[in-house]
Each structure stands twice: as structure tokens, then as C-alpha cells.
Structure 1
């Protein structure tokens, strides 16, 4: 993270302000929700896609149980 903050703080104030005004990038869950809300996918397709995302996330970032 230090690298990102260093490059950000090294920019002119006007450029930093314009970068801060940008909306956050869409995440997969938000994108899927938008598709359900607009009728592009069904609730069942949304549920299936969310399950796939959860499985992928579990493989990428497994939860660790602390030792007792």
C-alpha cells in the first residue's frame, strides 16, 4: 500500500482532487445485483453466479481458524 499512497501524494492537488471524485470501481456482486434489478438475469441466475463467486473467493482467500 505504501507504493500507491506515495504515487498518489506525489501528484498535483488538482489531479488528486479529480481522482478522489471518481466513483469506486464496480465489484462483481454489485454488477450482478444491477443485472438482476434491470432484468438482464433471473434471481436463480444471480444465486448461481453468487455461489460461483463465493467458491472462487474461498479458494483465493481461505478463512483461517486461529489456534486455541
Structure 2
């Protein structure tokens, strides 16, 4: 059985991308359907976040420099 690991963004990665909301605020937005879903308690699906940012800015974001 294969385990597929999804790439994720931690709060530090999101801050580098310009998303300055706290993790608690992001959970509220996620529950309202206004922000991509989490894949772990403090990790958001990177592909969904990239798509979300591209929709609002018109530019595909570069990967942040982070060791998460």
C-alpha cells in the first residue's frame, strides 16, 4: 500500500506568501469555505493554497523557503 504525502504549508510558509492571518482565523475561514482545507493541524494543502492565491492575485506563487 502506498502512502501519498501531500505538500503542505505551515503558518510560516503562509506568512511568506502574504497570508498574515493567524491559524485560528484561517480555521474560521476554512469552516466558512473561504480558505483551503488543512491536511494536518497546522498544515494547509499547498496546491489548494496556490490555486486560491492565483485566483485572487492572478499570479502563481513561488514556493516559500521553509523547512516544514
Q: TM-score, normalised by structure 2?
A: 0.29
- From the two aligned structures, give the one with the greater strand fraction: 2
- From the two aligned structures, give the one with the greater helix fraction: 1
Which structure has the higher relative contact order (CA within 8 Å, separation 6+)?
Answer: 2
Q: TM-score, normalised by structure 1?
A: 0.29
